[in-house]
Structure 1
Amino acid sequence: MDEIFDVLVVGQEGRIGYEAAVFAASLRRSDPDFAGRLIVAEPQPGPLWHSDPRIADPALRALLGDLGAQIVPFASRHFGSEYPYGNKIEALRVMDPGRPFVFFDSDTLITAPLGAVPFDFDRPSASLRRENTWPRIELYGPSLADIWGALYRQFDLDFAASLDPGHPEHFWKRYSYFNAGFYYHRSAPRFGALFERYARTIRDAPPPELVLQELDPWLDQIALPLVIHALGGGLDALPPGHLDGAASCHYRSFPLLYARESDATVELLETVLAPNPIKKVLKAYEPLRKIVYQGKGRILRDLFDRDALPRREAAIRNRIKREKLWLR
């Protein structure tokens, strides 16, 4: 019998709250028989936030409930406004320790039933839809092996066992590096406790090899491979083609979705956002109003050839910005 697991996204005031509603609508449409809970973890106001991070719009909160989501509050103990990506670390505390979980960034569409994804919750992994964003190697600075090796040693982890021997020493894909757009494990609180400890230690007491490296906004993606390795997972734990493939799309922004994703993904987005009860709430968010409901996304889409996209996401973003269609 397949395991029942829960899904976690973060929802808060502004963009992420609206994206959480789009996520919920896509899950309900693409996986109507999903047996787990959809948890929208909401940071609460406190000394680490400059303003109230809760979803203020009562209509949006009601829509999330209508779409099957449960809004669950959590306290920000370590990150908050100074590092909002820390939400995806601290939110793990609210989950049931007895149920497996899958975390998704809110800017994700579910495009097929998640029950068909062959998760092994005892071997965690994360998104491999990533670019070579960290670390940045200086001419006379530490090498990739020096930097990643120092991090593994800091937490008494087996660095050699984490390497992909199919790539040479100076190529970034030899080293476990993930996008934090999704990750999963058998216990969210256990995963989250390690994630918190590793991220805080790297932030507060980085090894000397990191002295030239920027940690913001990469801190979560620096700590994530260490957590996955410590819990017995790795780069090969999830067969390719499911998440970031047939079952999910981490689009990152609505303009990027229209620029580079498949026709089927665009059709799904427009279909799930078409019902009037959804439209009347989500059109309050300017990027959805202009890109989806006013049709500017279709205009943007005609600017790009999906079979010949620029290799780096930054080039796509810059083209969209030149057309004054970068709305997020």
Structure 2
Amino acid sequence: MAQDQQFNIMIVGQAGRLQYEALLFMASLRQYAPDFKGQIIIAEPQPAPLWDKDPRIAPDIKTALTELGADIRPFASVHFGQAYPYGNKIEGLAVLPASEPFVFFDTDTLITGDITALPFDFDRPAASMMRGPTWPLEELYWPGYAASWKALYDRFGLDFESSLDLRQPDEYWERYLYFNAGWFFGADPAAFADRFTEYAVSIRDDPPAEIVLQSLDPWLDQVALPLVIHSFGGGRPSSALAGLDGEITCHYRALPLLYARGTDRQIGILEEIAAPNKLKKLLKQYDPFKRMIYQGRGHKVRAMFDQNDLPRREQALRNKIKAAGFWLR
């Protein structure tokens, strides 16, 4: 678990919003983690029957990403594609060098500190705890949290009891291993990808009876991820990784949310890295970024909220921003 252990970083890049988010990710990484020595790999889906349109990154964006040090690698969409684009983070892992430690980030992430200083234990994989009670949801005829999750652990021959947080009461959602898939890490991306794919496809195509009432769109990756992590001997991240979703990284998810609830430092970093003319010219091609960052819409959103007294639920933030006509993504 040496702090100087080298690892690779993966994000997904493709046509549309993600390619512009990738520019912000790369610029923030270069600015705030200049000593990062691993490979930065952008997994790019390729045209295929599972995509309605060409998903590849635009040539000018691809050039800029490469100049920032990204290695853009193509992968084939075999199981997911347009119908479930979140599956890119599953199938895209195949482009990473096998047996080399990796950290995956959602593209809508800013690097805001020295990620090389974090003490990753790659033999004990973990993922983001920035999640809420989004799955499973209580239904009239559902069997409960425990039965729903245990059915999944049983499906793959995993020990359910050892995954529980026994500090939490029975049938309370935080008792059960559940992550936001915005970041996760492991020791071998090839093995991780194989298992992630196996579990996700099995759950999608043949869900256990206990979860047939539950929606798997968009939650499939977050349903399979805890099972994969548990199967490799991992679990909840240690407190030493608190800088993820903290001072080291910011998973903003959508720029209106960043302006509404982000810290002054995070917003300052966004605007700092987006300021150089070379990057600005590209980012302004994407209308939501042009309006939020360069035309001041983001600060109008920020003025709508007291950052010291924000609504507890994200949906309340979204609803207020949308009602004002400022939701852009």
Q: TM-score range by the shorter chain?
A: over 0.9
1:229 aligns to 2:220 (yes or no): no
Query: Which secondary structure state, in structure 2, belongs to the residue aligned with residue 34 of structure 1?
Result: coil
- Superposed, 1:235-314 pairs within 5 Å as 235-237=236-238, 239-314=240-315
Give a deviation string over 1:179-200, Cα, whole Å, max 9, x none: 0000000111111110000000
Deviation at residue 240 of structure 1 after TM alignment: 4.6
Report the equivalent of 1:77.
78
- What amino acid maps onto 2:160 in structure 1? F
Give a deviation string over 1:227-274, Cα, whole Å, max 9, x none: 000001001446352100111000001111100010000000000010
Query: Which secondary structure state, in structure 2, belongs to the residue aligned with residue 245 of structure 1?
Result: coil
Gaps of 5+ in 1: none
CA RMSD of aligned residues (A): 1.0
- What amino acid maps onto 1:138 in structure 2? E
State the TM-score, normalized to the length of structure 1: 0.98
Identity %: 55
- What amino acid maps onto 1:212 in structure 2? L
Contact 2:52 2:82 in 1 (8 A): yes
Report the equivalent of 1:25.
27
Deviation at residue 23 of structure 1 after TM alignment: 0.4
- Superposed, 1:1-328 pairs within 5 Å as 2-56=4-58, 58-237=59-238, 239-328=240-329
Gaps of 5+ in 2: none
Deviation at residue 99 of structure 1 after TM alignment: 1.4
Deviation at residue 62 of structure 1 after TM alignment: 1.1
Structure 1: which 4+ aligned runs deviate by more than 4 Å?
A: none
In 1, Cα distance between equivalents of 2:137 and 2:325? 30
Contact 1:125 1:238 in 2 (8 A): no
The structure-2 alpha-carbon separation of the partners of 1:67 and 1:96, relative to structure 1 and needing over 3 Å to count, comes to: same
Contact 1:179 1:221 in 2 (8 A): yes
- What amino acid maps onto 1:146 in structure 2? A
Give a deviation string over 1:11-46, Cα, whole Å, max 9, x none: 000001110111001000101111011111100011
In 2, Cα distance between equivalents of 1:278 and 1:79? 31
In 2, Cα distance between equivalents of 1:227 and 1:237? 18
Q: How many residues align?
A: 327
In 2, Cα distance between equivalents of 1:41 and 1:138? 37
State the TM-score, normalized to the length of structure 2: 0.98
Deviation at residue 89 of structure 1 after TM alignment: 0.2
